[in-house]
Structure 1
Amino acid sequence: MADALWRLRSRGCWQEAADLLRPQAGRDPSAALTRAELLIEQCLFTADHWERAEDALRQAEAGVAGVEHRAAAACARGFLAYVASVLGRRDRLDEAQAALGRTSALLPPGAPGRPLLDFRRGLVAENLLHDPGAAWIAYRRAHDAAQRRGDGLLCSYTARHLAGLALEDGDRERAREGFRTSLRLREELGFTVGVAPALASLAEVSEPGEAARLRAEASRLVHALGGVPVWLARRLHTGPAADAPPDGLGVEDARGAIS
Protein backbone atom coordinates (compact mmCIF):
# COMPACT_ATOMS: atom_id res chain seq x y z
CA MET A 1 0.00 0.00 0.00
CA ALA A 2 2.77 2.45 0.90
CA ASP A 3 4.52 1.88 -2.43
CA ALA A 4 1.27 2.29 -4.37
CA LEU A 5 0.46 5.51 -2.52
CA TRP A 6 3.92 6.89 -3.19
CA ARG A 7 3.77 6.11 -6.91
CA LEU A 8 0.41 7.85 -7.25
CA ARG A 9 1.30 10.81 -5.09
CA SER A 10 4.64 11.40 -6.77
CA ARG A 11 2.88 11.68 -10.13
CA GLY A 12 0.23 14.08 -8.82
CA CYS A 13 -2.54 11.45 -8.62
CA TRP A 14 -3.71 12.51 -5.18
CA GLN A 15 -7.36 11.63 -5.63
CA GLU A 16 -6.51 8.12 -6.78
CA ALA A 17 -4.22 7.67 -3.77
CA ALA A 18 -6.94 8.96 -1.44
CA ASP A 19 -9.42 6.53 -2.99
CA LEU A 20 -7.10 3.64 -2.15
CA LEU A 21 -7.27 4.66 1.49
CA ARG A 22 -11.02 5.22 1.63
CA PRO A 23 -11.91 1.69 2.87
CA GLN A 24 -9.42 1.98 5.75
CA ALA A 25 -10.09 5.59 6.66
CA GLY A 26 -13.31 4.87 8.53
CA ARG A 27 -11.64 2.47 10.97
CA ASP A 28 -7.96 3.45 11.04
CA PRO A 29 -7.03 6.95 12.34
CA SER A 30 -3.63 6.81 10.64
CA ALA A 31 -5.18 6.02 7.26
CA ALA A 32 -7.72 8.82 7.73
CA LEU A 33 -4.96 11.32 8.50
CA THR A 34 -2.89 10.19 5.54
CA ARG A 35 -5.90 10.53 3.25
CA ALA A 36 -6.53 14.06 4.52
CA GLU A 37 -2.88 15.05 4.02
CA LEU A 38 -2.93 13.73 0.45
CA LEU A 39 -5.97 15.82 -0.38
CA ILE A 40 -4.49 18.89 1.28
CA GLU A 41 -1.42 18.49 -0.91
CA GLN A 42 -3.75 18.29 -3.90
CA CYS A 43 -5.10 21.70 -2.90
CA LEU A 44 -1.55 23.02 -2.71
CA PHE A 45 -0.64 21.92 -6.22
CA THR A 46 -4.00 22.57 -7.91
CA ALA A 47 -5.51 25.48 -5.91
CA ASP A 48 -8.74 23.49 -6.07
CA HIS A 49 -10.67 20.62 -4.45
CA TRP A 50 -10.88 22.40 -1.11
CA GLU A 51 -14.12 20.72 -0.04
CA ARG A 52 -12.63 17.24 -0.47
CA ALA A 53 -9.72 18.15 1.76
CA GLU A 54 -11.95 19.76 4.38
CA ASP A 55 -14.27 16.73 4.48
CA ALA A 56 -11.37 14.29 4.76
CA LEU A 57 -9.74 16.32 7.51
CA ARG A 58 -12.97 16.55 9.50
CA GLN A 59 -13.30 12.77 9.24
CA ALA A 60 -9.74 12.35 10.46
CA GLU A 61 -10.28 14.78 13.33
CA ALA A 62 -13.43 12.93 14.39
CA GLY A 63 -11.59 9.61 14.56
CA VAL A 64 -8.38 10.62 16.34
CA ALA A 65 -7.18 8.22 19.01
CA GLY A 66 -4.45 9.38 21.35
CA VAL A 67 -2.10 12.31 21.59
CA GLU A 68 -0.05 11.44 18.51
CA HIS A 69 -3.11 11.40 16.25
CA ARG A 70 -4.49 14.60 17.79
CA ALA A 71 -1.17 16.32 17.13
CA ALA A 72 -1.05 15.07 13.54
CA ALA A 73 -4.63 16.22 12.90
CA ALA A 74 -3.88 19.66 14.34
CA CYS A 75 -0.76 19.93 12.20
CA ALA A 76 -2.78 19.04 9.10
CA ARG A 77 -5.43 21.60 10.06
CA GLY A 78 -2.76 24.28 10.37
CA PHE A 79 -1.30 23.37 7.00
CA LEU A 80 -4.66 23.46 5.24
CA ALA A 81 -5.31 26.90 6.71
CA TYR A 82 -1.86 28.02 5.53
CA VAL A 83 -2.42 26.73 1.98
CA ALA A 84 -5.83 28.42 1.78
CA SER A 85 -4.28 31.70 2.91
CA VAL A 86 -1.29 31.56 0.55
CA LEU A 87 -3.35 30.68 -2.50
CA GLY A 88 -5.73 33.54 -1.82
CA ARG A 89 -8.88 31.59 -1.05
CA ARG A 90 -9.25 33.50 2.21
CA ASP A 91 -7.15 34.68 5.15
CA ARG A 92 -6.89 31.87 7.71
CA LEU A 93 -3.71 32.98 9.45
CA ASP A 94 -5.27 32.88 12.94
CA GLU A 95 -6.51 29.34 12.34
CA ALA A 96 -3.11 28.23 11.06
CA GLN A 97 -1.27 29.67 14.04
CA ALA A 98 -3.74 28.25 16.55
CA ALA A 99 -3.65 24.76 15.03
CA LEU A 100 0.14 24.65 14.83
CA GLY A 101 0.30 25.97 18.38
CA ARG A 102 -1.91 23.07 19.53
CA THR A 103 0.38 20.68 17.71
CA SER A 104 3.41 22.07 19.51
CA ALA A 105 1.69 21.76 22.88
CA LEU A 106 0.84 18.12 22.20
CA LEU A 107 4.23 16.99 20.88
CA PRO A 108 7.08 16.38 23.33
CA PRO A 109 10.62 17.44 22.35
CA GLY A 110 12.13 14.99 19.92
CA ALA A 111 8.79 13.57 18.78
CA PRO A 112 8.72 12.25 15.20
CA GLY A 113 6.21 14.92 14.18
CA ARG A 114 8.38 17.84 15.30
CA PRO A 115 10.40 18.34 12.07
CA LEU A 116 7.25 18.62 9.95
CA LEU A 117 5.70 20.98 12.50
CA ASP A 118 8.81 23.18 12.49
CA PHE A 119 8.78 23.31 8.69
CA ARG A 120 5.13 24.33 8.57
CA ARG A 121 5.68 26.99 11.22
CA GLY A 122 8.50 28.29 9.03
CA LEU A 123 6.09 28.52 6.09
CA VAL A 124 3.66 30.58 8.16
CA ALA A 125 6.46 32.84 9.42
CA GLU A 126 7.89 33.39 5.94
CA ASN A 127 4.78 33.77 3.82
CA LEU A 128 2.02 34.97 6.14
CA LEU A 129 3.86 36.82 8.92
CA HIS A 130 6.70 38.01 6.64
CA ASP A 131 9.28 37.29 9.33
CA PRO A 132 12.31 35.79 7.55
CA GLY A 133 14.31 35.54 10.77
CA ALA A 134 11.74 33.34 12.48
CA ALA A 135 11.27 31.37 9.26
CA TRP A 136 15.01 30.67 8.99
CA ILE A 137 15.17 29.38 12.57
CA ALA A 138 12.18 27.07 12.02
CA TYR A 139 13.46 25.79 8.66
CA ARG A 140 16.95 25.22 10.06
CA ARG A 141 15.58 23.24 12.99
CA ALA A 142 13.40 21.17 10.66
CA HIS A 143 16.26 20.62 8.21
CA ASP A 144 18.69 19.41 10.85
CA ALA A 145 16.12 17.04 12.34
CA ALA A 146 15.13 15.72 8.91
CA GLN A 147 18.78 15.00 8.11
CA ARG A 148 19.19 13.10 11.37
CA ARG A 149 16.11 11.03 10.58
CA GLY A 150 17.05 10.43 6.96
CA ASP A 151 13.89 12.12 5.69
CA GLY A 152 15.02 13.07 2.22
CA LEU A 153 11.71 14.51 1.08
CA LEU A 154 11.45 16.92 3.99
CA CYS A 155 15.11 17.84 3.44
CA SER A 156 14.26 18.72 -0.16
CA TYR A 157 11.66 21.20 1.10
CA THR A 158 13.75 22.71 3.88
CA ALA A 159 16.78 23.07 1.58
CA ARG A 160 14.59 24.80 -1.00
CA HIS A 161 13.13 27.30 1.46
CA LEU A 162 16.44 28.00 3.20
CA ALA A 163 17.85 28.68 -0.26
CA GLY A 164 14.99 31.05 -0.99
CA LEU A 165 15.79 33.03 2.15
CA ALA A 166 19.47 33.09 1.20
CA LEU A 167 18.54 34.48 -2.21
CA GLU A 168 16.44 37.21 -0.62
CA ASP A 169 19.47 38.04 1.52
CA GLY A 170 21.65 38.38 -1.58
CA ASP A 171 23.66 35.17 -1.11
CA ARG A 172 23.29 33.63 -4.57
CA GLU A 173 25.95 30.96 -4.04
CA ARG A 174 24.28 29.58 -0.92
CA ALA A 175 20.93 29.78 -2.70
CA ARG A 176 22.31 27.89 -5.70
CA GLU A 177 23.68 25.15 -3.44
CA GLY A 178 20.35 24.78 -1.64
CA PHE A 179 18.28 24.69 -4.82
CA ARG A 180 20.62 22.08 -6.33
CA THR A 181 20.30 19.96 -3.21
CA SER A 182 16.51 20.17 -3.34
CA LEU A 183 16.43 19.17 -7.01
CA ARG A 184 18.84 16.29 -6.48
CA LEU A 185 16.84 14.88 -3.58
CA ARG A 186 13.54 15.06 -5.46
CA GLU A 187 15.02 13.36 -8.50
CA GLU A 188 16.59 10.63 -6.37
CA LEU A 189 13.32 10.03 -4.52
CA GLY A 190 11.27 10.04 -7.69
CA PHE A 191 9.05 12.86 -6.42
CA THR A 192 8.17 13.82 -9.97
CA VAL A 193 5.48 16.37 -9.15
CA GLY A 194 7.99 18.32 -7.07
CA VAL A 195 10.80 18.37 -9.64
CA ALA A 196 9.47 21.22 -11.80
CA PRO A 197 9.36 23.75 -8.91
CA ALA A 198 12.92 22.74 -8.01
CA LEU A 199 14.06 23.26 -11.61
CA ALA A 200 12.39 26.68 -11.75
CA SER A 201 14.02 27.74 -8.47
CA LEU A 202 17.46 26.67 -9.64
CA ALA A 203 16.89 28.65 -12.85
CA GLU A 204 16.60 31.83 -10.77
CA VAL A 205 20.25 31.58 -9.74
CA SER A 206 21.72 30.12 -12.95
CA GLU A 207 23.42 31.74 -15.92
CA PRO A 208 21.03 32.80 -18.73
CA GLY A 209 21.65 29.82 -21.00
CA GLU A 210 21.32 27.27 -18.20
CA ALA A 211 18.33 29.12 -16.77
CA ALA A 212 16.51 28.87 -20.10
CA ARG A 213 17.22 25.14 -20.28
CA LEU A 214 15.97 24.57 -16.74
CA ARG A 215 12.77 26.53 -17.34
CA ALA A 216 12.13 24.66 -20.57
CA GLU A 217 12.58 21.35 -18.74
CA ALA A 218 10.24 22.53 -15.98
CA SER A 219 7.65 23.57 -18.57
CA ARG A 220 7.78 20.17 -20.27
CA LEU A 221 7.33 18.41 -16.95
CA VAL A 222 4.42 20.60 -15.89
CA HIS A 223 2.75 19.94 -19.24
CA ALA A 224 3.31 16.19 -18.89
CA LEU A 225 1.67 16.26 -15.45
CA GLY A 226 -1.43 18.01 -16.74
CA GLY A 227 -0.57 21.55 -15.69
CA VAL A 228 0.45 21.10 -12.04
CA PRO A 229 1.55 22.90 -10.01
CA VAL A 230 -0.96 25.38 -11.40
CA TRP A 231 0.85 28.37 -9.95
CA LEU A 232 4.11 27.28 -11.57
CA ALA A 233 2.34 26.69 -14.88
CA ARG A 234 1.13 30.30 -14.80
CA ARG A 235 4.56 31.55 -13.85
CA LEU A 236 6.36 29.70 -16.61
CA HIS A 237 3.79 30.94 -19.09
CA THR A 238 4.08 34.60 -18.08
CA GLY A 239 7.84 34.66 -17.58
CA PRO A 240 10.45 34.13 -14.86
CA ALA A 241 9.89 37.46 -13.16
CA ALA A 242 6.34 36.59 -12.09
CA ASP A 243 5.94 35.55 -8.47
CA ALA A 244 4.39 32.22 -7.54
CA PRO A 245 3.06 30.99 -4.22
CA PRO A 246 5.61 28.88 -2.35
CA ASP A 247 5.21 25.17 -2.13
CA GLY A 248 5.12 23.26 1.09
CA LEU A 249 5.29 19.74 2.35
CA GLY A 250 1.94 18.02 2.36
CA VAL A 251 2.59 14.45 3.40
CA GLU A 252 5.49 12.69 5.04
CA ASP A 253 7.50 10.29 2.90
CA ALA A 254 4.96 7.72 1.71
CA ARG A 255 7.51 4.93 1.86
CA GLY A 256 7.82 5.38 5.60
CA ALA A 257 5.58 7.30 7.92
CA ILE A 258 2.25 7.05 6.16
CA SER A 259 2.13 3.30 5.60
Structure 2
Amino acid sequence: MAHTAMSGTGTNPADDPLQTAVWRLRSRGCWVDAAALLEPHAADDPGAALQRAALFVERCLYTEQGWADAEDALRAAEAVAQTDEQRGAAACERGQLAYAATLLKVRDRVDEARSAFGRAAALIAPGAARRAVLDFRRGLMAENLADSPQAARAAYRRAHAGATAHGDALLLSFTWRHLAGLSLREGELKEARHGFAESLRLREELGYLVGTAPALVSLAEAEPEPETKARLREEATRLFRLLGGVPTWLASALPAAA
Protein backbone atom coordinates (compact mmCIF):
# COMPACT_ATOMS: atom_id res chain seq x y z
CA MET A 1 0.00 0.00 0.00
CA ALA A 2 1.36 3.40 -0.95
CA HIS A 3 1.10 6.46 1.22
CA THR A 4 2.43 9.95 1.12
CA ALA A 5 1.57 13.42 2.13
CA MET A 6 2.65 17.01 2.11
CA SER A 7 5.73 17.91 0.17
CA GLY A 8 8.39 20.43 1.01
CA THR A 9 12.08 21.01 0.87
CA GLY A 10 12.78 20.53 4.54
CA THR A 11 14.60 23.39 6.15
CA ASN A 12 14.04 26.81 4.64
CA PRO A 13 16.71 27.98 2.17
CA ALA A 14 16.93 31.32 3.96
CA ASP A 15 17.28 29.57 7.34
CA ASP A 16 14.01 31.07 8.52
CA PRO A 17 13.88 30.13 12.22
CA LEU A 18 10.14 29.41 12.18
CA GLN A 19 10.34 27.15 9.14
CA THR A 20 13.38 25.38 10.51
CA ALA A 21 11.56 24.68 13.77
CA VAL A 22 8.43 23.50 11.93
CA TRP A 23 10.50 21.16 9.78
CA ARG A 24 12.34 19.65 12.75
CA LEU A 25 9.06 18.85 14.48
CA ARG A 26 7.32 17.63 11.34
CA SER A 27 10.22 15.37 10.35
CA ARG A 28 9.95 13.60 13.71
CA GLY A 29 6.19 13.13 13.50
CA CYS A 30 5.31 15.98 15.88
CA TRP A 31 2.65 17.46 13.61
CA VAL A 32 0.49 19.01 16.32
CA ASP A 33 3.47 20.82 17.85
CA ALA A 34 4.59 22.02 14.41
CA ALA A 35 1.08 23.30 13.64
CA ALA A 36 1.00 25.14 16.97
CA LEU A 37 4.02 27.18 15.90
CA LEU A 38 2.11 28.34 12.83
CA GLU A 39 -1.20 29.03 14.57
CA PRO A 40 -0.41 32.67 15.58
CA HIS A 41 0.22 33.49 11.90
CA ALA A 42 -2.57 31.44 10.32
CA ALA A 43 -5.44 33.88 10.86
CA ASP A 44 -4.12 36.47 8.39
CA ASP A 45 -1.38 34.65 6.48
CA PRO A 46 -2.75 32.31 3.78
CA GLY A 47 0.62 30.55 3.45
CA ALA A 48 0.80 29.77 7.16
CA ALA A 49 -2.84 28.63 7.20
CA LEU A 50 -2.22 26.29 4.28
CA GLN A 51 0.97 24.89 5.78
CA ARG A 52 -0.83 24.29 9.08
CA ALA A 53 -3.62 22.42 7.27
CA ALA A 54 -1.09 20.33 5.35
CA LEU A 55 0.56 19.29 8.61
CA PHE A 56 -2.75 18.02 9.97
CA VAL A 57 -3.46 16.17 6.70
CA GLU A 58 -0.06 14.50 6.89
CA ARG A 59 -0.77 13.53 10.50
CA CYS A 60 -3.92 11.72 9.33
CA LEU A 61 -1.94 9.74 6.77
CA TYR A 62 0.73 8.66 9.22
CA THR A 63 -1.35 8.11 12.37
CA GLU A 64 -4.92 7.51 11.09
CA GLN A 65 -6.02 10.08 13.67
CA GLY A 66 -6.90 13.77 13.81
CA TRP A 67 -9.43 13.90 10.99
CA ALA A 68 -11.54 16.62 12.63
CA ASP A 69 -8.47 18.78 13.26
CA ALA A 70 -7.52 18.45 9.59
CA GLU A 71 -11.02 19.42 8.44
CA ASP A 72 -11.03 22.48 10.72
CA ALA A 73 -7.59 23.58 9.55
CA LEU A 74 -8.58 23.11 5.91
CA ARG A 75 -11.71 25.21 6.29
CA ALA A 76 -9.61 27.95 7.90
CA ALA A 77 -7.08 27.82 5.05
CA GLU A 78 -9.85 27.96 2.44
CA ALA A 79 -11.38 30.97 4.20
CA VAL A 80 -8.20 33.08 4.07
CA ALA A 81 -6.98 32.04 0.60
CA GLN A 82 -6.71 35.09 -1.67
CA THR A 83 -5.21 33.93 -4.97
CA ASP A 84 -6.02 31.16 -7.43
CA GLU A 85 -2.80 29.36 -6.49
CA GLN A 86 -3.69 29.51 -2.78
CA ARG A 87 -7.21 28.27 -3.48
CA GLY A 88 -5.77 25.54 -5.69
CA ALA A 89 -3.29 24.50 -3.01
CA ALA A 90 -6.09 24.28 -0.45
CA ALA A 91 -8.11 22.16 -2.88
CA CYS A 92 -5.08 19.90 -3.33
CA GLU A 93 -4.90 19.37 0.44
CA ARG A 94 -8.64 18.69 0.60
CA GLY A 95 -8.23 16.10 -2.13
CA GLN A 96 -5.36 14.52 -0.22
CA LEU A 97 -7.42 14.30 2.96
CA ALA A 98 -10.30 12.66 1.07
CA TYR A 99 -7.82 10.27 -0.59
CA ALA A 100 -6.35 9.35 2.80
CA ALA A 101 -9.78 8.70 4.32
CA THR A 102 -10.62 6.41 1.41
CA LEU A 103 -7.28 4.60 1.35
CA LEU A 104 -7.28 3.99 5.10
CA LYS A 105 -10.93 2.87 4.96
CA VAL A 106 -12.18 5.58 7.30
CA ARG A 107 -14.85 6.62 4.80
CA ASP A 108 -15.25 6.37 1.03
CA ARG A 109 -14.54 9.89 -0.21
CA VAL A 110 -13.11 9.04 -3.62
CA ASP A 111 -15.54 11.29 -5.50
CA GLU A 112 -14.63 14.20 -3.24
CA ALA A 113 -10.94 13.52 -3.82
CA ARG A 114 -11.33 13.51 -7.60
CA SER A 115 -13.40 16.69 -7.52
CA ALA A 116 -10.91 18.51 -5.27
CA PHE A 117 -7.92 17.47 -7.38
CA GLY A 118 -9.77 18.57 -10.51
CA ARG A 119 -10.44 21.96 -8.93
CA ALA A 120 -6.79 22.23 -7.95
CA ALA A 121 -5.71 21.43 -11.51
CA ALA A 122 -7.89 24.26 -12.82
CA LEU A 123 -6.39 26.77 -10.37
CA ILE A 124 -2.70 25.86 -10.17
CA ALA A 125 -0.71 27.00 -13.19
CA PRO A 126 1.22 24.41 -15.23
CA GLY A 127 4.86 24.57 -14.25
CA ALA A 128 4.15 25.89 -10.75
CA ALA A 129 5.88 24.13 -7.86
CA ARG A 130 2.56 23.01 -6.38
CA ARG A 131 1.60 21.44 -9.69
CA ALA A 132 4.24 18.76 -9.13
CA VAL A 133 2.66 17.89 -5.78
CA LEU A 134 -0.76 17.70 -7.43
CA ASP A 135 0.57 15.46 -10.21
CA PHE A 136 2.06 13.13 -7.61
CA ARG A 137 -1.15 12.91 -5.63
CA ARG A 138 -3.17 12.20 -8.74
CA GLY A 139 -0.70 9.40 -9.40
CA LEU A 140 -1.49 7.96 -5.98
CA MET A 141 -5.18 8.02 -6.84
CA ALA A 142 -4.52 6.23 -10.11
CA GLU A 143 -2.33 3.57 -8.52
CA ASN A 144 -4.14 2.86 -5.28
CA LEU A 145 -7.80 3.64 -5.90
CA ALA A 146 -8.20 3.19 -9.67
CA ASP A 147 -5.65 0.36 -10.06
CA SER A 148 -4.21 2.05 -13.14
CA PRO A 149 -0.42 1.69 -12.95
CA GLN A 150 0.14 3.20 -16.40
CA ALA A 151 -1.69 6.41 -15.50
CA ALA A 152 0.11 6.43 -12.15
CA ARG A 153 3.52 6.12 -13.79
CA ALA A 154 2.78 9.02 -16.16
CA ALA A 155 1.65 11.21 -13.26
CA TYR A 156 4.66 10.25 -11.13
CA ARG A 157 7.00 11.09 -13.99
CA ARG A 158 5.42 14.52 -14.41
CA ALA A 159 5.76 15.06 -10.67
CA HIS A 160 9.37 13.87 -10.75
CA ALA A 161 10.22 16.32 -13.52
CA GLY A 162 8.49 19.15 -11.66
CA ALA A 163 10.21 18.32 -8.37
CA THR A 164 13.57 18.27 -10.16
CA ALA A 165 12.89 21.62 -11.81
CA HIS A 166 11.92 23.23 -8.50
CA GLY A 167 14.54 21.54 -6.34
CA ASP A 168 11.95 19.83 -4.13
CA ALA A 169 14.07 17.09 -2.59
CA LEU A 170 11.34 15.70 -0.36
CA LEU A 171 8.89 15.30 -3.23
CA LEU A 172 11.68 13.63 -5.22
CA SER A 173 12.07 11.11 -2.41
CA PHE A 174 8.39 10.24 -2.91
CA THR A 175 8.49 10.10 -6.70
CA TRP A 176 11.60 7.90 -6.66
CA ARG A 177 9.94 5.54 -4.20
CA HIS A 178 6.65 5.21 -6.03
CA LEU A 179 8.20 4.88 -9.48
CA ALA A 180 10.41 2.18 -7.96
CA GLY A 181 7.32 0.50 -6.52
CA LEU A 182 5.82 0.25 -9.99
CA SER A 183 9.11 -1.16 -11.30
CA LEU A 184 9.10 -3.78 -8.54
CA ARG A 185 5.52 -4.65 -9.41
CA GLU A 186 6.65 -5.33 -12.98
CA GLY A 187 9.67 -7.38 -11.91
CA GLU A 188 12.26 -4.74 -12.83
CA LEU A 189 14.42 -5.33 -9.75
CA LYS A 190 17.45 -3.27 -10.78
CA GLU A 191 15.33 -0.18 -11.47
CA ALA A 192 13.37 -0.74 -8.28
CA ARG A 193 16.49 -1.00 -6.10
CA HIS A 194 17.92 2.18 -7.65
CA GLY A 195 14.74 4.17 -7.05
CA PHE A 196 14.28 2.93 -3.50
CA ALA A 197 17.93 3.67 -2.70
CA GLU A 198 17.59 7.23 -4.06
CA SER A 199 14.46 7.77 -1.98
CA LEU A 200 16.20 6.56 1.17
CA ARG A 201 19.28 8.70 0.47
CA LEU A 202 17.21 11.86 0.07
CA ARG A 203 15.22 11.23 3.24
CA GLU A 204 18.34 10.60 5.26
CA GLU A 205 19.97 13.75 3.88
CA LEU A 206 16.88 15.81 4.71
CA GLY A 207 16.50 14.27 8.15
CA TYR A 208 12.95 13.18 7.31
CA LEU A 209 12.95 10.61 10.09
CA VAL A 210 9.24 9.80 9.98
CA GLY A 211 9.58 8.76 6.33
CA THR A 212 12.82 6.80 6.68
CA ALA A 213 11.39 3.53 8.01
CA PRO A 214 9.00 3.15 5.03
CA ALA A 215 11.93 3.84 2.69
CA LEU A 216 14.00 1.14 4.40
CA VAL A 217 11.15 -1.37 4.12
CA SER A 218 10.70 -0.59 0.42
CA LEU A 219 14.40 -1.08 -0.28
CA ALA A 220 14.33 -4.36 1.63
CA GLU A 221 11.51 -5.61 -0.62
CA ALA A 222 13.76 -5.24 -3.66
CA GLU A 223 16.91 -6.62 -2.00
CA PRO A 224 17.89 -10.16 -3.09
CA GLU A 225 20.56 -10.68 -0.40
CA PRO A 226 18.91 -12.13 2.73
CA GLU A 227 21.38 -10.60 5.19
CA THR A 228 21.01 -7.12 3.70
CA LYS A 229 17.22 -7.50 3.58
CA ALA A 230 17.17 -8.47 7.27
CA ARG A 231 19.44 -5.56 8.23
CA LEU A 232 17.22 -3.03 6.44
CA ARG A 233 14.10 -4.40 8.10
CA GLU A 234 15.76 -4.36 11.53
CA GLU A 235 16.70 -0.70 11.09
CA ALA A 236 13.17 0.10 9.97
CA THR A 237 11.78 -1.66 13.04
CA ARG A 238 14.10 0.32 15.31
CA LEU A 239 12.94 3.63 13.81
CA PHE A 240 9.30 2.54 13.93
CA ARG A 241 9.61 1.86 17.65
CA LEU A 242 11.56 5.07 18.23
CA LEU A 243 8.69 7.07 16.74
CA GLY A 244 6.06 5.28 18.81
CA GLY A 245 4.60 3.12 16.06
CA VAL A 246 4.38 5.77 13.32
CA PRO A 247 3.48 5.44 10.51
CA THR A 248 0.76 3.13 11.80
CA TRP A 249 0.26 1.35 8.46
CA LEU A 250 3.87 0.15 8.49
CA ALA A 251 3.15 -2.26 11.36
CA SER A 252 1.83 -4.93 9.00
CA ALA A 253 5.14 -4.92 7.12
CA LEU A 254 7.12 -5.24 10.35
CA PRO A 255 5.71 -8.16 12.32
CA ALA A 256 8.55 -7.92 14.85
CA ALA A 257 7.52 -4.33 15.63
CA ALA A 258 4.00 -5.21 16.69
**Partners of 2:237 and 2:256 within 8 A in 1:** no
Structure 1 counterpart of 2:61, from 18, 41, 44 = 44
Matches of 1:112 and 1:202 in 2, distance apart? 28
Greater CA drift, 59-68 or 152-161: 59-68
Query: Are 1:100 and 2:133 counterparts?
Result: no
Match of 2:72 in 1: 55
Amino acid at match of 1:156: S
Instruction: Quote how far apart the aligned CAs of 1:82 are.
Output: 0.6
**% identical aligned pairs:** 60
- For the 8 Å contact 2:25–2:34, the answer to whether it is kept is yes
Question: Which sits farther off after the overlay, 71-80 or 143-152?
Answer: 143-152
- For 1:152, give the aligned amino acid: A
User: Displacement of 1:238 after TM fit?
Assistant: 6.6
Mapping of 1:203-242 within 5 angstroms? 203-206=220-223, 207-237=225-255
Name structure 1 gaps, 5 residues minimum: 240-259
For the aligned residue pairs, the C-alpha RMSD in angstroms reads 1.1
After superposition, what is the alpha-carbon deviation per residue over 1:197-243, rounded to whole angstroms, capped at 9, x for unaligned? 0000000011211111101100000100111001112320279xxxx
Helix, strand or coil: the match of 1:183? helix
Deviation at 1:49, TM superposition (A): 1.0
Superposed displacement of residue 108, structure 1: 2.1
Give structure 2 stretches of 5+ with no counterpart: 1-17
CA distance in 1, matches of 2:158, 2:92: 17
Tell me the distance in 2 between the aligned counterparts of 1:142 and 1:64: 24
**Counterpart-to-counterpart distance in 2, 1:141 and 1:169:** 20
Distance 1:186 1:231 in 2: 19
Q: How many angstroms does 1:112 deviate by?
A: 2.1
Deviation at 1:149, TM superposition (A): 1.5
- TM-score calculated relative to the size of structure 1: 0.90
- Is the counterpart of residue 136 in structure 1 residue 189 in structure 2? no
Report how far residue 21 of structure 1 moved. Answer: 0.8
Alignment-derived partner of residue 31 in structure 1: 48
Residue type of the partner of 1:221?
A: L
28-37 or 103-112: bigger deviation: 103-112
- Out of 5, 12, 20, the residue aligned to residue 37 of structure 2 is 20
Counterpart-to-counterpart distance in 2, 1:114 and 1:39: 20
Render the CA deviation track for 1:161-209: whole Å, top value 9, x for unaligned.
0000001111011001000000000001110110000000000011211
Partner of 2:10: none
For residue 89 of structure 1, what is the aligned residue in structure 2? Answer: 106
Point out 4+ residue stretches in structure 1 off by more than 2 angstroms: none
Q: What SS is found at the alignment partner of 1:65? A: coil
Return the alpha-carbon distance in structure 1 between the equivalents of residues 242 and 126 of structure 2: 42
- The separation in 1 between residues aligned to 2:193 and 2:60, in whole angstroms, is 28
- Figure out how many residues of one structure are paired with residues of the other and give that number: 239
